[in-house]
Amino acid sequence: MGLVILGLLALYVMISILVVIGVIKHAKKNGKSALRWGGAAALVLYLMPFWDWLPTVAMHRFYCATEAGFWVYKTIDQWKIENPGVMERLVVQRSIQPTSYGDLQTLNERFAIETHRRKPVSFLPTSIAERLLVDRKSGEVLAKGIDVGSGVGYMATGGGFKLWLNQTPCITEGMGKLTTEIQVVRGSK
């Protein structure tokens, strides 16, 4: 598949070069500015596949800087003090249930991770995932993690071919560590 993509990219570059050369010749023949006409043709041919690259990079960096992160509102130790003896009775129930706003990952009868996803701009491939560690009985949020990702995924999953839109995601590791802590604390008693 990679060879097909590289072949198509090479074909597009060759066609683009030929079009720019043709536009420059046409401009010179008609007494127009070859630099302006050739530059405009090159810009149009560049923007056809790459029009969304700079806005995607800018949006990704903005949301990574302003929204991504991990916050703990209540530690597991604090929760255990407020709920004595509960942690020892919890049973692991790893399941994920799709919902209208994201998904609900049930860790056990007391804890779950709610995921809310949103796209700030519908035509750009940047998405923000907010994960909340929730006490299912009280509804209290113990921790929140916000991850930002940009890109089109993989061609095998129908994500598209614009691989240059994929940015290194801003992923917070705290939620995974906290859920592991819930399992370890329970298992150590």
The residue ranges of the chain whose pLDDT is under 50 are 155-158, 186-189
The H-assigned helical ranges of 116-163 are none
Q: Which helix (DSSP H) or strand (DSSP E) does residue 27 occupy?
A: helix 2-29
For 33-66, write each residue's pLDDT tens digit: 999 999 999 999 999 988 999 999 999 999 999 9
Task: Output the 3-class SS for 31-80.
Answer: CCCHHHHHHHHHHHHHHHHHCCHHHHHHHHHHHHHHCCEEEECCCHHHHH
Task: Supply the mean pLDDT for the chain.
Answer: 85
Nearest to 107 by CA among 171, 180, 173: 180
